[in-house]
Each structure stands twice: as structure tokens, then as C-alpha cells.
Structure 1
Amino acid sequence: MKTIKFHKSDCGVEILLNVLNQYDLKDGYLSSDVYNTDYFEIAFIKKAEGGLLLNQKYISLSENTILFISPFQKRKWMVNEKDLELTLLIFQEDFLNEFFADKLFAYRLFYFYQLDLSLSLHQPGNEMTRICEMLSEIKNELIIPKPDSSHIIRSLVYYLLQKLNRAYALQNDLSLKLPENNFAYQYKQLLEKHISTHQRIDDYVKMLGLSRISINAAVKKQFNVTATHMLKQRLLFEIKNLLIHANKTVSEIAYDLQFSEPTHLMRFFKKQTQMTIGQFLDEYKHAIS
């Protein structure tokens, strides 16, 4: 599978962020083939006809839609490029870590690494226009950098990401209260890094040095789901990705993910999805055809 990588030289300055419109996109970005990227993307769509298959789910695109795509999430565009007006904000995780001095910043945003809720957000036309003006301002600072450009870019990006987080939280009835600690975000980060080799809550209890009760309370308060639910959804997502893209048998996937028997994986899958693996694959093939 093709992976499109971030290139700092594309934006003309030594910064792990860029703003692109559809005319700046490299060949293959709007490909009808499945691919991924090694960076975060927020797609601001002012006009579109068609859809996007993302995280094994089909998103119907319409005007004034915002899409949130995390690194290495697979996607397949099914759009009419002639009727597309698209602006992309792209950046690598190191940009967030370095610019905001917070290694958990990406995990504090509800829309990144999101598995339960929609990865799209609809905004009024006037708000989308305001956002696109802000993106143009960021682009100008990248193209013609000045001594204080990094400060302006940092403030604009921080404001934009937080405003989108607020809108996403309101759309999905999520709490914006400041957490008492970082336990929920640390747990979410560890799931992204270790789900292939660690599938038990007790594994994360040891990694975090916390009690199961403390982890569950933090996750429930911040994300409105249990820690167990979050782990199972992340494991299910990993299984689906391997089934679709890895060209491996169920037995091989079960071995890779440390299930003791392939039947245990199949039972887990059926319990979480109410579908057999065969039914899931048939439904996926139908969605991309």
C-alpha cells in the first residue's frame, strides 16, 4: 500500500506543517486506490460531490464539511475532482509536540485517533470562509517567513485546532471540562503504540503505574466511555485493518495479535460487530465497489 510522506521542502521552510489546496496536491492524493499518509490532516471542503472511505466507514461529502484524518489511517477517495474545493492543513505529530511543548496534545483533541464517533464536522458557510481566511494567513507566513512567523503560525494553529475541538465536542456531546490529570490521554496514547502486543487492561495498568479504577474513572470522565470499551474498539480497528489490507489469513492475524486460537479472535469480532468476518469483508467490498 502506498504511503504519502510529509516533506518539509514542500512548504519552503523548516517546519512540519503546511497548507495545501487541491491544485497543490501531489499526484495520487485523490486516488481511488486505498493509501495512507504519515501525518495528520484536516480537510476543509467548501464544495464536493461524492464521498470518502475512511477507517472502513463511508463519509458522504457535502459543502462546508471538515474531515479529520490521523496518521496511517487508510482512505479511498470517491469524488468528482472537477466539483471539488478543498484546502488541507497537514502536520506531523512532532510539530504539535515541539510547537506546544506537549507530547499529549494530539490525544487531547477529540477528533484525532477517534474510533467511535464521526470523523467529519459540518460548519456554517460563514464560519468555513473565516477558517479558510485563517489558513491563507498561515500559508502566507510559510511562503514569506519573517522573524516572528513561527509565533504567528503557532497562535493561529493553536486557535484553529481548539476551536474545531470545541465544535466537535458540541456536535458529539463531549465534555470540555479540564481534566484533573492526564491519565485518559496517556492511556489513549499507549493504546496507539501497543495495541498489537498488549490487549489487556492490566498491561496498561502496569505501564501507567495506576489502578484499574483510576484509569477507568479518567477515561469515563474525559471520553464518556469505559477504558475497556476504548481498548476493545482499538483492537477491533486493528483487526479490521489487517483483514482488509494485510493479505493475511485469520490464523496469521490471530497469531500476530496474540490470540491463543483463531476461534477466539472470530468470537471477539462477532461479539463486537454482530457480524462474522466473512460478512464484514463482503460489506466492505460492496462499499468500495
Structure 2
Amino acid sequence: MRKFIFEKRKYGFELLMDLHRFEGNPNVFFDPAPHTTDFFEILIFEKANGKIELNGQLLDIVENSFFFISPFQKKSCKIDLSGIRGFHLVFQNDFLSDFFDDKLFTYRLQYFYNSQHPQYVQLENEDYRVIRFALDEIITEIKNFQNDSLHILRPLLYFSLSKLNRLFSKRYNISPDTQSNSTIYKFKELLELNICTIHSVEQYCSFLNVSRHQLNAMAKEHSGCTSKEMISNRLLQEIKMELRYSDKTISEIGYALNFSESNNLTRFFKNLEGISPSSYRDNYQNDSD
């Protein structure tokens, strides 16, 4: 599978973010084949027709729609390029996390690393105009980069991401708070690092030095789900990606994801998805033909 790598020195100096309009060269940004990136992406469509497959969900592109992609998540794009308008925003975590001395910054944003809700939102025109103003300012600053440009780019990006977090959270009726107990954000990070090997609430509680009751309370407040549901949703997402994009057998997937037996994976998947893993894979392959 193709992986896109962030170009840190694209402009001749190191810059850990970039922003373009689709109108310039849309073919650079869309690939109909499944692919990943090693950076964060936000695809912003003012006008376009098509679909994006992200984390096993096929999402329609509509006016003023935003798609949020975390590093190494798999996506594919089927988009009509005629008359397309919008933005492609990319950045590496260090661009903001180092400045704010907060390695958990992107985990605080509800639209990244979220397996409970689609990583997608459509904005009202008034809200979109606010975000677009900041994006236009970012493009202008990159084009006219000066010694103090980073001091302008960082707050513009921080504003855009934080404003979008509020709008996304309102859409899905979840907490917009990015400054609550950092334990829940650390839990999200641990899920990303360990989902292939650790599925137990108790083990995560041990890592975080909290009780199951405490972790559940924080998880419910942040995501509307229990800690167990967050683990299960993230594990289900990982299984779907293996079924869609690898040629591993069900047994091999079970082994890779630390299920003691393949039957346990099948039972887990069927309880959450309603069909067997093999049927899910068959349906996806038939739809892709």
C-alpha cells in the first residue's frame, strides 16, 4: 500500500505544516487506491462530488465538508475533479506539540483518533467562513514566509483546529473540552500504541494508575462511551482494516491482534458488526469490483 511521506523542506527550509487549494493541482491530493500518510490531514471541500472511504466507512462529499485523517489511517478517494474547490491542510504533530510542550495535543481533538464517530463534519456557511478566513491567512503567510512567520502560522492553525473541535463535538454531542484530566488523552494514545496486543480495561487502568470506575467516568464524559466500548470500537476498526486491505486469513488476523483463538475474533466481530469477518470481507470485495 502506498504511503505518503511529509516533505519537511519542501520550501527550502523546515516547515512542519502545509496548506494548498485543490484548484491548483487536485491530482496531487487524491488517490483512488487505498493509501496512508505519516502526517495529519484535513481535506476541506467547498465544492466537490464524490466519496471518501475512511476507516471502513464510505462518506459522501458535500458542500463545506471536512474530513479528518490521522497518521497511518487508510483511505481512498473517488472524486470528480471538475469544478472542485477546497483546501488540503497537512501537519506533523511536532509543529504544535513542541511549541505548547504538549505531546498529547492531537489526542485532545475529538476528530482525530476517534473510532466512535465518523471523522467528518459539514459546516454551516457562517462557520465555514470563519475557518476559511484563517486558512486564507495561512496560505498567504506561507507564500510570504518571513523570520516571524511561525509565530503567525501556529496560532492560526491552533485556532482553526480548536474551532473545528468545538463544531465537531457539537455535531456529535460529545465534550469539546481539550483541557480536562489528561488521563483520558493518555488513554487514547495508549490505545493507538497497544490496540494490537492489549484489549483489557484492567491493563490500561494499570498503565494509567487509575481504577476502572475512574477511567469509565472519564471516558463517558469525553466520548459518551465506556472505556471498554472505546477499546472494542478501536479493535473493531483495526480488524476491518485487516479484512479490507490485507490478504491475511482470519486466523492470521486473530494471531496478529492477540486473540487466543480465531473463533474468539469471529465471535467478537459478529457481536459488534452483526456478520462474520469472512462475510464482511466478501461484501467489501464485491462492492469494490
Indicate how the Cα distance of structure 1 residues 135 and 178 shifts in structure 2: closer, same or farther if over 3 A, else same: closer
Name the counterpart of 1:234. 234
Over the matched positions of the two proteins, sequence identity in percent amounts to: 35
Name the counterpart of 1:69. 69
Indicate how the Cα distance of structure 1 residues 213 and 108 shifts in structure 2: closer, same or farther if over 3 A, else same: same
Name the counterpart of 1:196. 196
- Superposed, 1:9-48 pairs within 5 Å as 9-22=9-22, 29-48=29-48
- Aligned-pair RMSD on alpha carbons? 1.8
Amino acid in the other structure paired with 1:9? R
- Superposed, 1:176-215 pairs within 5 Å as 176-177=176-177, 180-215=180-215
Question: Unaligned regions of 5+ residues in structure 1, if any?
Answer: none
**Mean alpha-carbon deviation: is it higher for 136-145 or for 246-255?**
136-145
CA–CA distance in structure 2, aligned partners of residues 11 and 162 of structure 1? 27
Amino acid in the other structure paired with 1:17? M
**Mean alpha-carbon deviation: is it higher for 172-181 or for 51-60?**
172-181
**Is contact 1:104-1:189 (8 Å) kept?**
yes
Name the counterpart of 1:256. 256
Name the counterpart of 1:145. 145
Name the counterpart of 1:246. 246
**Is contact 1:266-1:277 (8 Å) kept?**
yes
CA–CA distance in structure 2, aligned partners of residues 270 and 154 of structure 1? 44
**Mean alpha-carbon deviation: is it higher for 191-200 or for 20-29?**
20-29
Name the counterpart of 1:136. 136
Question: Unaligned regions of 5+ residues in structure 2, if any?
Answer: none
**Mean alpha-carbon deviation: is it higher for 54-63 or for 91-100?**
91-100
**Mean alpha-carbon deviation: is it higher for 176-185 or for 150-159?**
176-185
Aligned length: 289
**Is contact 1:12-1:142 (8 Å) kept?**
no
CA–CA distance in structure 2, aligned partners of residues 11 and 287 of structure 1? 41
**Is contact 2:93-2:106 (8 Å) kept?**
yes
SS of residue in 2 equivalent to 1:8: coil
CA offset at residue 96 of structure 1? 2.7
- Superposed, 1:85-124 pairs within 5 Å as 85-124=85-124
CA–CA distance in structure 2, aligned partners of residues 285 and 83 of structure 1? 31
Give me the TM-score of the superposition, normalised by structure 1.
0.94
Give me the TM-score of the superposition, normalised by structure 2.
0.94
- Which string of whole-angstrom CA distances, capped at 9 and with x for unpartnered residues, describes residues 43-85 of structure 1? 1100011111111111011111111111111111111111321
Name the counterpart of 2:51. 51
**Mean alpha-carbon deviation: is it higher for 264-273 or for 130-139?**
130-139
SS of residue in 1 equivalent to 2:51: strand
